[in-house]
Structure 1
Amino acid sequence: MRIMYLNHTSKREGGPEYHARVEALANSYASPGTKVEIHHPEDLGGTEVLDHLRKSQALAGLHHALEVPALVKKVIEAERTGYDAVVFSNTFDPGVEVARCAVRIPVIGVLRASCHFAASIADRFGLIAPLDSHALYAGHIIEHYGLKRFLSGIKAINTYDVGDLSAHHDMLLERLVSVGKELVAAGAHALIPLGGRLVPYVVKPLELEAELKVPVINTKLVGIRQAETLVMGKSSHSIKSYPWAAGLSPENVSKRESK
């Protein structure tokens, strides 16, 4: 089984060693015989907006909306080149819903998958976001998914940066635990950390569980395993929910060459 692990941006942030470490971690979550491969979409115009929004930490979804055409194009390419499924690695599921209308292989959003998983093992869950703007954005997504009644709260640690953040492990762990305790005190029975660059790439969910005493959901593990389940069961997203027309090519989405 081959799973495309699709980043939301065309930028390769963190360097080759970081890329290799993340890919190895993603593969450690898969079953024997499954290969998980990191891919990035083309830059069809969203990168400059992302760079601009990062300066003011106003990351509330605009950059993701502009990345959607490139992500849909990449998903179509994945199906055409023999991938069995696509897992979007970003914890805000940018482009997942519309990409499902373009292909019949499973397309998984790790946020939605993780929310349903959390709701299956706990009455209510809380979200830990990197920034306040992320928290606002995530709240809108949860409401769209119809999962608001399971959500006890969202809090941000207000710490985020690009690249490899492993040198900041102890500081990140401290802030995640602090915010996690606030969410648990407010009624969360499980926690979902957003921002894979923080959890699980630097801080492991089990480190947080040891301090917080509630389940901490590994969004990447849940997404990869859900993709495997659908592929093994020879199933996919419902065509009733995601109407599909055969024959779309990547060029139908955009003929523009990437920068």
Structure 2
Amino acid sequence: MTAPRAVHVRVVSPITTRGFRTDAAVKGLESPGLIVSASQIDRGPGSIECEYEQAMAAPDTVRAIIDAERDGVDAVVIDCMGDPGMRPARECVTIPVLGPGQTAMHVAAMLGHRFSVVTVLRRLRPSFENAAAVHGLSGRMASCRAVDIPVLELESDMGATVAALVDEAAKAVEIDGAEAVIFGCTGLLGCAQAVREGLLARGIDIPVVDPIPTAVNMAAALVRSGLSQSKLTFPLPPEKPMPGYDMPDLRLQAAE
């Protein structure tokens, strides 16, 4: 029997800071039958910590996702919890496009009755509360807490970052009533096991959702199941002039 073709998922980083997402970190998500590659935008913010920066990241993120489909990639995951460009990109391509924010919230709601987001900065709380409402999960979101560490400083002292995550996650459980926790920044990739162990040491046994590996594996599952976004929900954009934006010809893409 012929072995099934490997699924190729691309992680698109919607920031311009080089080296923030290492190739080794992305390759560490691979498993038998799963190839993971990475790309990064050239025009946009150095990091994303507000709605404005999400908007500035979206155009080049959409372009990178169109390029991924033309490269033969099977699915794309956007490397930011704000899911910048997710919905417009779904209109432009036929392959699955997943945002880790939307994916992690739905997975957490499956694993616990109420979940909390532990993110980087307090100012992001309204964005996550709005996202929960858009995804129909407001009633399942217990809270959004922050460790008050900017995105580009998360790796400066990983011990301190993990300790802060454990403290805020414990408060989310003990004060806010959360039964699952989501990292509110994909820059925390790889911290889930340490945070879960820190919570277990306090007698708290809950799932800790690391959004990027969760979304990558969900994307692969969709491909293997023959599923992608509905073209009734996300139809191809209408053809019209768009001065100032050098975007690919979507009609050519559809014809291919």
1:39 Cα offset (Å): 0.3
1:240 Cα offset (Å): 2.0
Equivalent position of 1:9 in the other structure:
15
Match of 1:237 among 225, 229, 239: 229
Match of 2:23 among 20, 23, 27: 20
Q: 1:39 to 1:253 in 2, by over 3 A?
A: farther
Equivalent position of 1:183 in the other structure:
172
Map 1:116-155; keep pairs closer than 5 Å: 116-155=106-145
Q: Distance in 1 between matches of 2:227 and 2:243?
A: 26
Amino acid of the structure 1 residue aligned with 2:209: I
Q: Distance in 2 between matches of 1:170 and 1:207?
A: 10
How many correspondences in the alignment? 234
Q: Distance in 1 between matches of 2:227 and 2:92?
A: 16
Contact 1:60 1:136 in 2 (8 A): no
Indicate the structure whose relative CO is greater, using CA pairs within 8 Å and at least 6 residues apart. 1
Q: Distance in 2 between matches of 1:153 and 1:225?
A: 26
* 3-state SS, counterpart of residue 171 of structure 2: helix
Is residue 214 from structure 1 mapped to residue 206 from structure 2 by the alignment?
Answer: yes
Q: Distance in 2 between matches of 1:164 and 1:33?
A: 31
* 3-state SS, counterpart of residue 101 of structure 1: helix
Amino acid of the structure 2 residue aligned with 1:74: A
Is residue 173 from structure 1 mapped to residue 162 from structure 2 by the alignment?
Answer: yes
1:254 Cα offset (Å): 2.7
Contact 1:130 1:195 in 2 (8 A): yes
CA deviations 1:10-57 (Å, max 9, x no partner) are 33144xxx6133223333xxx3122111101231xx33xx57xx8xxx
Equivalent position of 1:228 in the other structure:
220
Q: 1:75 to 1:99 in 2, by over 3 A?
A: same
Q: Distance in 2 between matches of 1:83 and 1:135?
A: 33
Ranges in structure 1 where 5+ consecutive residues have no aligned partner: none
Ranges in structure 2 where 5+ consecutive residues have no aligned partner: 1-6, 200-204, 248-256
Contact 1:128 1:176 in 2 (8 A): yes
Moved more, 204-213 or 174-183: 204-213
TM-score, normalised to structure 1's length?
0.83
Contact 2:94 2:228 in 1 (8 A): yes
- What RMSD, in angstroms, separates the aligned Cα atoms of the two structures? 2.4
Q: Distance in 1 between matches of 2:41 and 2:234?
A: 22
* 3-state SS, counterpart of residue 143 of structure 1: helix
Q: Distance in 2 between matches of 1:220 and 1:146?
A: 21
